[in-house]
């Protein structure tokens, strides 16, 4: 069962995170203009340390090259359990992203979800955005 925070985050995304009407604390809230000219990837759910099962939802906001958000779920030993891409905001502006993460583990363990932008600049400019969330992976 999703926590109330996760359910609320899903409603905010579905309601148009990048448009007017965002909620305070929403990763796409740009009332202060901080997101207007920045490249970023912000994962807002799940919370660090949360217990997750296969198929858990990840939500957030991004603005990055070609709108591509990359993700990877790592097991305790560093093995890649699953990986993929999704889309968020691009060079024209920021926007929400959401994806599900299926995985299989034989026992409960600490894992890490990486949500990031690959470096398309070959080391030029600022380092690409990267979020690493420790999670408890449930079988």
Query: What are the Cα distances from residue 92, in Å, to 36, 42, 66, 88?
Result: 10, 17, 10, 11
Instruction: State how many domains the chain has.
Output: 1
pLDDT above 80 for 129: yes
Mean pLDDT of the chain: 82
DSSP 66: G
- Which segment of 25-29, 48-52, 56-60, 128-132 scores lowest on mean pLDDT? 25-29
pLDDT above 80 for 24: no
Position 39 scores a pLDDT of: 85
Range of the domain at 32: 4-137
- Partnered with residue 135 across adjacent β-strands are 111
Whole-number Å distance between alpha carbons of 40 and 65: 10
Contacts of 103 (CB under 8 A, 6+ apart): 54, 73, 81, 82, 111, 137
Residue whose tokens read 């759910």: 45
Report the phi/psi class of residue 92: left, alpha or beta, with left for phi > 0 and alpha for psi in -120 to 50: alpha
Residue with the larger pLDDT of the pair 84 and 8: 84
Which of 5-14, 30-39, 69-78 is predicted most confidently?
A: 69-78
Whole-number Å distance between alpha carbons of 72 and 47: 16
Contact 81, 104 (CB under 8 A): yes
pLDDT in tens, 37-76: 888 999 999 999 999 999 999 999 999 888 999 999 999 9
Q: Which CATH number goes with the domain that contains 39? A: 2.60.40.2550
Position 82 scores a pLDDT of: 98
């Amino acid at each position: 069962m999703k926590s109330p925070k996760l359910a609320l985050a899903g409603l905010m995304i579905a309601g148009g995170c990048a448009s007017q009407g965002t909620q305070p604390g929403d990763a796409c809230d740009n009332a202060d203009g901080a997101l207007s000219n920045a490249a970023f990837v912000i994962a807002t759910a799940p919370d660090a340390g949360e217990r997750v099962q296969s198929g858990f939802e990840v939500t957030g906001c991004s603005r990055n090259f070609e709108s591509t958000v990359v993700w990877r779920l790592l097991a305790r030993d560093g093995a890649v359990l699953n990986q993929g891409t999704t889309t968020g905001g691009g060079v024209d502006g920021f926007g929400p992203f959401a994806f599900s993460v299926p995985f299989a583990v034989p026992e409960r363990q600490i894992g890490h979800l990486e949500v990031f932008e690959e470096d398309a600049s070959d080391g030029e400019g600022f380092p690409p955005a990267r979020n690493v969330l420790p999670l408890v992976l449930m079988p």
